[in-house]
Structure 1
Amino acid sequence: MSSVTNLFLVRHGQTEWNKEHRLQGHKNSPLTQKGKEQALNTKHALQGYEIHKAYVSPLQRAQDTLELIIDQRDIDVVISNNLKEINLGPWEGKTKPETLLSDPQQYHYFWQEQDKFNLAGAETYQQLQDRVVSELQAIFSKEKGKNILIVSHWIAIKAAVAYYKSTPLSDLSSLPDPKNGEYTILSELNTQIKKSG
């Protein structure tokens, strides 16, 4: 057994709502053709790795991305609610201009001062980070010495990366956004974040 546990965190491929700049949260929209191609690019990028198990958000865009990545590989898949995107409540399905009009203060916090974001009916960034990191820590503990594929979402992955890089949520906007189909490798023995994609 390897002494290193690797988690490959993949953001799902582009969706129709990504193209329209609509916030998705727990709602869903289908992968675009470009989104499917991004998933296939990730599949090819990961072909050199033995993947022992996969964990995936229950949201359809993540599951569709995972299916394209693993294709014919015989890999056990675990669906985890803790890997869902941030719950954005009343903002889900709305465009950026619509959310700005509905609550300019929370809009500013959402994009610029994430530690202060506290929209009624939505999750805070802290709540999101707590549940995602809790799941990743459980996976590290449970899957020692293995390569684990994880398909999740934009803010969920970014908040997790912030935790492992010791970046406070107040500085979250200083970190790059994970691109659709991009993966980040987290290692149990090395908290340095390696990006590829």
Structure 2
Amino acid sequence: MLNKTNIFLVRHGQTTWNAEGRLQGQKNSVLTETGRHQAAQAKMSLEQYEIHKAFVSPLQRAQDTSKIILEDRNVDVVIVESLKEINLGPWEGKTKMETQQSHPEQYQQFWTYPGQFRLPGAESFEQLKSRVVAALDDIFLKEKGKNILVVSHWMVIKTAFAHYTATPLNDLANIPDPKNGAFIVLEKSNGEELSKIRVL
């Protein structure tokens, strides 16, 4: 057992909707060839680490990314509903321009003041943060002393980063967007608070 717990929090590879500039939310679109290459790059970056277990969003793009990363490993994979991307309701599948035209006030909130974002049929960032942090804290609690792979999504990772760095949700725009296939490492010494975040 390690004297610390590492969560390697990976964003899925590029999808067709990513390439088209469409908001995905909880709808599915398939990995592009670029996305599969990005997942393979993440696999290479993680080869130096033993991975003891994986927790993955149920959305297909995250599952497909995890399969590429883990294809040469015998690792238990747990599908976790709480690791889904933010539910964007009527915006899913739409471009930024389309969402700005249909909901100008909520568009401004989403990109500038996400802590105030409210859209009928969609999640708030507070709701997203609540479920994501609960899932990650549960992993830290139950998987102490292990290296854990988590494959998830854009706003999930940004919101988790904000929580663990005590960054207000309204300052999400100041957190760099995680690139497709890139990951951050959440590191916690056993029995202590989060000790380090590394962006890789």
What TM-score do you get using the length of structure 2 for normalisation?
0.97
Deviations 1:141-169 (A, max 9, x none): 00000000000000011000100000010
CA RMSD of aligned residues (A): 0.7
The answer to whether residue 153 in structure 2 is matched with residue 153 in structure 1 is: yes
Runs (5+) with no aligned partner, structure 2: none
The 8 Å contact of residues 165 and 191 in structure 1, kept in 2 or not, is answered as no
The answer to whether residue 198 in structure 2 is matched with residue 194 in structure 1 is: yes
Distance in 1 (alpha carbons) for counterparts of 2:21 and 2:121:
21
Alignment of 1:31-180 (within 5 A): 31-180=31-180
The count of corresponding residues between Structure 1 and Structure 2 is 196
Report the Cα offset of residue 3 of structure 1: 1.5
The 8 Å contact of residues 164 and 191 in structure 1, kept in 2 or not, is answered as no
Report the Cα offset of residue 2 of structure 1: 1.2
Question: Runs ≥4 in structure 1, deviation > 3 angstroms?
Answer: none
Give aligned-pair identity as a percent. 59
Report the Cα offset of residue 170 of structure 1: 1.2
Distance in 1 (alpha carbons) for counterparts of 2:20 and 2:197:
30
Report the Cα offset of residue 192 of structure 1: 2.6
Distance in 2 (alpha carbons) for counterparts of 1:195 and 1:7:
12
Distance in 2 (alpha carbons) for counterparts of 1:174 and 1:166:
13
Deviations 1:107-165 (A, max 9, x none): 01111110010000000001001100000000000000000000000001100010000
Report the Cα offset of residue 193 of structure 1: 1.5
Q: Which residue of 1 aligns with 2:3?
A: 3
The answer to whether residue 18 in structure 2 is matched with residue 15 in structure 1 is: no
The 8 Å contact of residues 57 and 79 in structure 2, kept in 1 or not, is answered as yes
